[in-house]
Structure 1
Amino acid sequence: MKTHVKALVVGGGAVGAGIAYHLARAGWSDVMLLERDELTAGSTWHAAGLLPLFNMSYATSHIHDYSVKFYKTLEEETGLNAGFSVVGNLRMAQTQARMDEYMLYASTAETVGIPYEWLTPAQIKERWPLVHTDDLQGAIFHPTDGYINPADVTQAMAKGARQRGVEIVRKWQVDGYEWTGSEWKVTITKMVEKGGNLVPSEEQQVITAEHVVTATGNHAQRTAKLLGIKMPAIPVEHQFIVTEPDPALVEYRKTYGEHPVLRDADAKWYVREERGGWILGPYEEGAPARFEYGVPDSFRADLFPLDLERIEEEYMSMIHRIPTTEPLGLKDDFNGPICYTPDGNPLVGPAPGLRNMWLAEGFSFGITAAGGTGYYLAQMMVEGEAEIDMASLDPKRFGSWMTTEYAARKNEESYAHVFILHHPDEEREACRPLRTGPAYDRQKAEGAQFGVVNGFERPNYYGPKDAPSNFDHDARSFRRGGWWQFAKDEAQAIRETAGLIDATAFAKHVITGPGAEAFLDWFTTNKLPKPGRINLTYALTEAGTTRAEYTIVRETPDHWVLISSGAQHAYDRDFLLKAIEDKEPEFGRINVEDWTTRYGAFALAGPKARDILKEIIKDADPDTALSNKRFPWLSCRNIELGMCPVVAVRVAYTGELGWELHHPIEFQNYLWDLLVEAGAKHGMKLVGARAQNWLRQEKSYRAFGNELGRDATPLEAGLDRFVDLSKDFHGKQAMTDKGIRSKCVTVLIDGPEDADPWGREALYDGDTKVGRLTSGGYSVAFGKSVGMGYVRPDLAQPGQKLKVKMFDKLWDVEVTEDSPFDPKNERIRVDG
Structure 2
Amino acid sequence: MNTHVKALVVGGGAVGCGIALHLARAGWDTMLVERDELTAGSTWHAAGLLPLFNMGYATGHIHDYSVKLYAGLEAETGLNAGFTRCGNLRMAQTDARMDEYQLYSATAETIGVEHEFLTPAQIKERWPLVRTEDLKGALFHPTDGYINPADVTQAMAKGARMAGARIERRIQVNGYLWTGDEWIVTCERMVEKGGNLIPSGEVFEIHAEHVVTATGNHAQRTARLLGIKIPAIPVEHQYIVTEPDPALAAWRAAGNPEHPVLRDADAKWYVREERGGWILGPYERNAPARFLYDVPESFRADLFPLDLERIEEEYMSMIHRIPTSETVGLKDDFNGPICYTPDGNPLVGPAPGLRNMWLAEGFSFGITAAGGVGHYLAQMMTAGEAEIDMAALDPRRFGGWTTTEYAAKKNEECYEHVFVLHHPDEEREACRPLRTAPAYDRQIAAGAQMGQVNGWERPNYYAPAGFDDHAARSFRRGGWWQFAKAEAEAIRQTAGLIDASAFAKHRVTGPGATAFLDWFTTNKLPKVGRINLTYALTETGTTRTEYTIVRLAEDDYYLISAGAWTDYDSDNLRKLAEEKRVAFGQVIVQDITTQWGVYAIAGPNSRKILQEIVRDADPATVLGNKRFPWLTMRNIELGMCPVRAIRVAYTGELGWELHYPIEFGRYLWDLLLKAGEKHGLKLVGARAQNWLRQEKSYRAFGTELGRDATPLEAGLDRFVDLDKDFRGKQAMLDKGIRSKCVTLLIDGPDDADPWGREGLFLDGTRVGRLTSGGYSAAFGKQIGMGYVRPDLAQPGTKLKVRMQLQLWDAVVTEDSPYDPENKVIRIDG
Q: TM-score under structure 2 normalisation?
A: 0.99
Q: Which amino acid aligns with 1:165?
A: G
Residue from 747, 762, 772 that aligns with 1:765: 762
Distance 1:628 1:824 in 2: 17
Report the 3-state secondary structure (helix = DSSP H, G, I; strand = E; otherwise coil) of the residue aligned with 2:580. helix
- CA shift at 1:266, angstroms? 0.1
Q: Which runs of 5+ in 1 are unaligned?
A: none
Residue from 530, 533, 537 that aligns with 2:534: 537
Distance 1:788 1:520 in 2: 29
Report the 3-state secondary structure (helix = DSSP H, G, I; strand = E; otherwise coil) of the residue aligned with 2:207. strand
- CA shift at 1:593, angstroms? 2.0
Q: Which amino acid aligns with 2:688?
A: A
- CA shift at 1:252, angstroms? 1.2
User: 1:719 is matched with which residue?
Assistant: 716
Instruction: Find out whether 1:605 has 2:602 as its counterpart.
Output: yes
User: 1:269 is matched with which residue?
Assistant: 269
Paired residues of 2:2 and 2:207 also in contact (CA < 8 A): no
Distance 1:65 1:98 in 2: 22
Distance 2:676 2:197 in 1: 68
Distance 1:527 1:164 in 2: 46
Distance 1:592 1:212 in 2: 26
User: 2:508 is matched with which residue?
Assistant: 511
Distance 1:454 1:201 in 2: 44
User: 1:342 is matched with which residue?
Assistant: 342
User: 1:623 is matched with which residue?
Assistant: 620
Paired residues of 1:555 and 1:637 also in contact (CA < 8 A): no
User: 1:211 is matched with which residue?
Assistant: 210
CA displacement, residues 53-92 of structure 1 (integer Å, 9 cap, x when unaligned): 1101000000000000010000000111110000000000
- CA shift at 1:255, angstroms? 2.9
Residue from 657, 660, 671 that aligns with 2:657: 660
User: 1:808 is matched with which residue?
Assistant: 805
- CA shift at 1:257, angstroms? 1.4
Q: Please, what is the CA RMSD of the aligned residues?
A: 0.6
Number of corresponding residues: 828
Q: Which amino acid aligns with 1:769?
A: R
User: 1:782 is matched with which residue?
Assistant: 779
Paired residues of 1:43 and 1:338 also in contact (CA < 8 A): yes
Distance 2:774 2:255 in 1: 48
User: 1:122 is matched with which residue?
Assistant: 121
Report the 3-state secondary structure (helix = DSSP H, G, I; strand = E; otherwise coil) of the residue aligned with 2:200. strand
CA displacement, residues 728-760 of structure 1 (integer Å, 9 cap, x when unaligned): 000000000000001100000111100000001
Distance 1:457 1:169 in 2: 47
Q: Percent identity?
A: 79
Paired residues of 1:89 and 1:261 also in contact (CA < 8 A): yes
Distance 1:426 1:678 in 2: 34
User: 1:753 is matched with which residue?
Assistant: 750
- CA shift at 1:767, angstroms? 1.1
User: 1:818 is matched with which residue?
Assistant: 815
Distance 1:757 1:428 in 2: 22
Q: Which runs of 5+ in 2 are unaligned?
A: none
Q: Which amino acid aligns with 1:107?
A: A
User: 1:552 is matched with which residue?
Assistant: 549
Instruction: Find out whether 1:180 has 2:184 as its counterpart.
Output: no
Paired residues of 1:234 and 1:289 also in contact (CA < 8 A): yes
| 1:93-172 mapped onto 2 (5 Å cutoff) | 93-172=92-171
Q: TM-score under structure 1 normalisation?
A: 0.99
Instruction: Find out whether 1:50 has 2:49 as its counterpart.
Output: yes
User: 2:7 is matched with which residue?
Assistant: 7
- CA shift at 1:2, angstroms? 6.2
Distance 2:724 2:99 in 1: 49
Distance 1:152 1:113 in 2: 27
- CA shift at 1:590, angstroms? 1.3
Distance 2:262 2:65 in 1: 22
Distance 1:256 1:62 in 2: 32
| 1:264-343 mapped onto 2 (5 Å cutoff) | 264-343=264-343
Report the 3-state secondary structure (helix = DSSP H, G, I; strand = E; otherwise coil) of the residue aligned with 2:540. coil
User: 2:237 is matched with which residue?
Assistant: 238
Distance 1:281 1:2 in 2: 44
Report the 3-state secondary structure (helix = DSSP H, G, I; strand = E; otherwise coil) of the residue aligned with 1:18. helix
Q: Which amino acid aligns with 2:742?
A: V
Report the 3-state secondary structure (helix = DSSP H, G, I; strand = E; otherwise coil) of the residue aligned with 1:681. helix
User: 2:78 is matched with which residue?
Assistant: 79
Instruction: Find out whether 1:691 has 2:688 as its counterpart.
Output: yes
Report the 3-state secondary structure (helix = DSSP H, G, I; strand = E; otherwise coil) of the residue aligned with 2:620. coil
User: 1:362 is matched with which residue?
Assistant: 362
Distance 2:330 2:782 in 1: 52
Distance 2:35 2:586 in 1: 43
Paired residues of 2:624 and 2:828 also in contact (CA < 8 A): yes
Q: Which amino acid aligns with 2:10?
A: V
Instruction: Find out whether 1:791 has 2:791 as its counterpart.
Output: no
Distance 2:198 2:703 in 1: 48
Runs of 4+ in 1 over 3 A off after TM superposition: none
- CA shift at 1:558, angstroms? 2.6
Distance 1:118 1:768 in 2: 20
| 1:520-599 mapped onto 2 (5 Å cutoff) | 520-599=517-596
CA displacement, residues 113-168 of structure 1 (integer Å, 9 cap, x when unaligned): 00101100000000000000000000010000000000000000001111111100
| 1:428-447 mapped onto 2 (5 Å cutoff) | 428-447=428-447
Distance 1:47 1:779 in 2: 46
User: 1:59 is matched with which residue?
Assistant: 58
User: 1:478 is matched with which residue?
Assistant: 475
- CA shift at 1:555, angstroms? 2.1
* Higher mean C-alpha displacement, 587-596 vs 315-324: 587-596
- CA shift at 1:350, angstroms? 0.5
Q: Which amino acid aligns with 1:505?
A: A
Distance 2:674 2:184 in 1: 61
Distance 1:565 1:376 in 2: 25
Q: Which amino acid aligns with 1:527?
A: K
User: 1:416 is matched with which residue?
Assistant: 416
Distance 2:438 2:97 in 1: 38
Q: Which amino acid aligns with 2:94?
A: T
Paired residues of 2:632 and 2:646 also in contact (CA < 8 A): yes
User: 2:448 is matched with which residue?
Assistant: 448
Distance 1:273 1:75 in 2: 23
Q: Which amino acid aligns with 1:146?
A: G
Distance 2:158 2:509 in 1: 53
Paired residues of 2:2 and 2:204 also in contact (CA < 8 A): no
Distance 1:222 1:251 in 2: 50
Distance 1:761 1:474 in 2: 25
CA displacement, residues 779-820 of structure 1 (integer Å, 9 cap, x when unaligned): 000000000000111111101111111111111110001000
Distance 1:177 1:8 in 2: 12
